[in-house]
Amino acid sequence: MERAVRYSKKREAILSVLRETNCHPSAEWVYQQLKPRHPDLSLGTVYRNLAFFQAHGLAQSVGVVSGQERFDAIVTPHSHFICNCCGTVLDLPEIFPDSGLKQSVSAQYELAVQRCELTFYGLCSSCSQENQNFKEEPLS
């Protein structure tokens, strides 16, 4: 028995925000974006809808960065870069894991692989530069 799905203005607005940004936001970020136009929006509703989107394949989690789960409305395969310093998450649209790996893992380890995530960690260009500055001008 499928549970019926109904239209909701808030849900639509939440999905729009998620689709119109490329910052891979947290629930809180989405909430703050919508607050001005939807003063009665509740953070709980944002969480509930993000879960809904994941369950329906409209969004996916990029993982937890600095304690907050981050979401992505792009569900086609692509990789991510996460800055260890500021937490920025970037898409790497041209980088894919070797397509044979998924099958290779399934075969070698007797696992039902559904998804594969390739994630790079390091410093984004902005944090990289600041780190350079620190080296040149250490705190007093």
The distance of closest approach from Cβ of residue 13 to DNA in the complex, given in angstroms and rounded to an integer, is 8
Neighbours of 95 (CB within 10 A): 12
Using CB distances below 5 to 8 A depending on partner kind, what does residue 86 bind out of a second copy, DNA, none? none
Q: Which is nearer to DNA, 58 or 77 (CB)?
A: 58
Looking at the DSSP assignment, which residues form a beta bridge with residue 61? Answer: 71
Whole-number Cα distances in Å, 51 to 11, 56, 59, 72, 128 = 11, 9, 9, 12, 34
The rounded distance, in Å, linking the Cα atoms of 140 and 138 is 6
The answer to the question of residue 51 lying near DNA (CB under 7 A) is yes
Do the beta carbons of residue 60 and residue 70 sit within 8 Å? no
Q: Which is nearer to a second copy, 15 or 89 (CB)?
A: 89
Q: Which is nearer to DNA, 6 or 135 (CB)?
A: 6
The answer to the question of residue 74 lying near a second copy (CB under 8 A) is no
The rounded distance, in Å, linking the Cα atoms of 90 and 22 is 8
The answer to the question of residue 27 lying near DNA (CB under 7 A) is yes
Stretch that binds a second copy, among 18-26, 33-41, 45-53, 104-112 (CB under 8 A): 104-112
The answer to the question of residue 42 lying near DNA (CB under 7 A) is yes
